[in-house]
Amino acid sequence: MKQLAELFQMADWKKEKHVPVIEAPVKVKKGEYFKVTVTLGKEIAHPNTTEHHIRWIEVYFHPQAEKYPYQLGRFEFTAHGESVEGSDTSTVYTHHAASFSFKTDKPGDIIASSYCNIHGLWSSSQSVEVE
């Protein structure tokens, strides 16, 4: 029986359009908020149509040497061109990108996950040092 963790796919975001691209400083200062942006398809664009789109991005912070991660945010993208006229008729589309700020006194990993409605779950991470 498969576990959910086994269904997360990972790859190089420069070659695979589904991988979350995390943009955050590598080094941050204790107690100071810093900006994090997570998007997809920076190198190879991911489609955004009623039939094929990114539903959500979730971001966690996992401090080094701790057991549990902290959820930083969950971002849902809920407009993908659908309307009473049918698929891809509204001209209204939410782009799959999220920006927010957080602070930490602990070094660790920012872990992002994303969900494509037809290509499933994807994940990536980036380390953060604290000075």
**Closer residue to Fe ion in complex, CB, 21/116:** 116
Considering the complex, what minimum distance in angstroms separates the CB of residue 43 from Fe ion? 15
Which among 25, 15, 14 is positioned nearest to 102, based on CA atoms? 25
Identify whether 18 is a catalytic site residue: yes
CA distance 114 to 92: 21
The verdict on whether 116 is a catalytic residue reads yes
Q: Kindly name the residue from 46, 53, 80, 96 that is annotated as catalytic.
A: 46
Contact between 40 and Fe ion (CB under 5 A)?
Answer: no
Residue with structure tokens 């602990």? 106
Minimum distance from CB of 1 to Fe ion (Å)?
Answer: 25
Known catalytic membership, residue 80:
no
CB of 116 to Fe ion, least distance (A): 3
Do the beta carbons of residue 96 and residue 76 sit within 8 Å? no
* Residue 106 binds to Fe ion (criterion: CB under 5 A): no
Interface with Fe ion in residues 108-127 (CB under 5 A)? 116, 119
Q: 13 CB contacts (<8 Å, ≥6 apart)?
A: 19, 20, 21, 40, 42, 43, 124
In the bound complex, which residue of the shown chain has the CB atom lying closest to Fe ion? 116
Annotated catalytic residue 17? yes
Active site residue 23: no
Tell me the residue length of the chain. 131
d(CA 105, CA 28): 9
- The catalytic residue positions are 16-18, 46, 52, 116, 119
Contacting positions for Fe ion (CB under 5 A): 116, 119
